[in-house]
Amino acid sequence: MTAAVYRRTGDPSVLEVVDRPVPEPGPGEVLVRVAVSGVNPTDWKSRQGDGSGAPPKEGWQIPHQDGAGVIEAVGTGVDAKLLGERVWIWEAAWQRPWGTAAEYTVVPVRQVVRLGSASFDLGASLGIPFLTAHRCLTVGETMPDRLDVGALSGRTVLVQGGAGAVGNAAIQLARWADATVVATVSSAEKAQLAAAAGATHVINYRDEDVVAEVRKIVPAGVDAIVEVAAARNAEIDRQVIGPAGTVAVYADDGGESLAIPIRPMMISNVRWQFVLVYTLPPVAKAHAVEDVAAAAASGVLRVGVEAGLPLHYYPLTEIAEAHRAVQNRAVGKVLVVTSAQ
């Protein structure tokens, strides 16, 4: 099989496309013929490493957490009825060498989810972005633990960076759950994408006063903020978060240090919550997988320009360029086509 690997950390040039034997699934594992592999920021950050050029833990690494394909073999203890199932994969490469940037990969059976008739493109776009967004929308004290139709009825969510992959996922999930969604963007083009995703209100922060516009929409403040750039947006978040609201921080765009005014946040009982999918509490992660799967199965989750998430395709042989695209902040979702669909 063809696979992308890196044997030392560093820039995209460390990625090699090589021929490897098709792996055998071990106990509790499945072999998936991967059709599409999704690229996330954590993929290039893991590949880049700490700058030392050190090898990955196993001496080699097939990158990428997310993907979609068909189960072609099962290990002992796995129901053979899964053979031939179309599935999406989440967290394939977390503390494992077998990511999805290959024609085949092996993963624990719990990390594949039936895709049904939905596209492989959608399946490869679900994992990390949608699980992250789910956690951001459910971690607050006044927010539900689970998402479903009506779960966020009467609540208002601010999505900072509504044209990003997690921002898009948060908009789609929040609207599915009947929230009012306010999204911020940096351009007219990105405003169109956030609106296509389903945002109720879109604010261009380069041209408009975000605090004033949000307060017009919800004078008492928003219930939750899905935050991509807390260091840059902290003062805005402080002014628009409502009583007992939650600022869910899932990235460090705009700076790694955050200054929060303690007293105003104490008075309003505001929570600042940091979110990383890989280390989520197991119950929260299980809920996220189940709810995202339910939303996908119901047909409400979408990808493509019409859903506010442009797709950028690369063949496996051009995986280094795919990594560069994500590292250079491509707007939309970067997908690597790994085998014939």
Give me the CATH number covering residue 174. Answer: 3.90.180.10
- As given in the structure block, the two tokens for residue 233 are 């947006």
Q: Which pTM value belongs to this model?
A: 0.97
134: in domain: no
Say if residue 146 is in the same domain as residue 252: yes
**Average pLDDT in the chain:** 97
If you average pLDDT over residues 205-212, what whole number do you get?
A: 97
If you average pLDDT over residues 9-13, what whole number do you get?
A: 97
133: in domain: no
**CA gap 37, 334 in Å, rounded:** 9
151: in domain: yes
Residue 338 has pLDDT above 80, yes or no: yes
Say if residue 244 is in the same domain as residue 195: yes
Say if residue 108 is in the same domain as residue 34: yes
Say if residue 269 is in the same domain as residue 160: yes
Contact 237, 182 (CB under 8 A): no
* Model confidence pLDDT, tens digit, residues 91-143: 999 999 999 999 999 999 999 999 999 999 999 999 999 999 999 999 999 99
Burial classification of residue 326, based on how many CB atoms lie within 10 Å of its CB (0-12 exposed, 13-18 middle, 19 or more buried): buried
Residue 254 has pLDDT above 90, yes or no: no
88: in domain: yes
> Could you give the 3-state DSSP secondary structure of residue 127?
helix
What per-residue confidence (pLDDT) applies to 253?
86
115: in domain: yes
135: in domain: no
**CA gap 58, 323 in Å, rounded:** 21
Q: Which residue has the higher pLDDT, 256 or 144?
A: 144
**CA gap 303, 312 in Å, rounded:** 11
If you average pLDDT over residues 276-286, what whole number do you get?
A: 97
Say if residue 121 is in the same domain as residue 194: no
**CA gap 246, 140 in Å, rounded:** 5
Say if residue 110 is in the same domain as residue 30: yes
If you average pLDDT over residues 44-57, what whole number do you get?
A: 95
What per-residue confidence (pLDDT) applies to 256?
85
Residue 341 has pLDDT above 80, yes or no: no
- Containing structural domain, residue 256: 140-274
Q: Report which DSSP code applies to 23.
A: P
If you average pLDDT over residues 30-47, what whole number do you get?
A: 97
**CA gap 202, 252 in Å, rounded:** 22
Closest C-alpha to 88, from 106, 108, 70, 62 = 70
Say if residue 183 is in the same domain as residue 207: yes
109: in domain: yes
Strand partners, 300: none
Say if residue 7 is in the same domain as residue 119: yes
What per-residue confidence (pLDDT) applies to 336?
98
If you average pLDDT over residues 188-196, what whole number do you get?
A: 98
If you average pLDDT over residues 308-314, what whole number do you get?
A: 98
Say if residue 90 is in the same domain as residue 147: no
Say if residue 249 is in the same domain as residue 305: no
Say if residue 39 is in the same domain as residue 95: yes
Residue 89 has pLDDT above 90, yes or no: yes
Count of the separate structural domains present in the chain: 2
The last residue of a domain, from among 245, 274, 303: 274
If you average pLDDT over residues 139-166, what whole number do you get?
A: 97
Contact 32, 92 (CB under 8 A): no
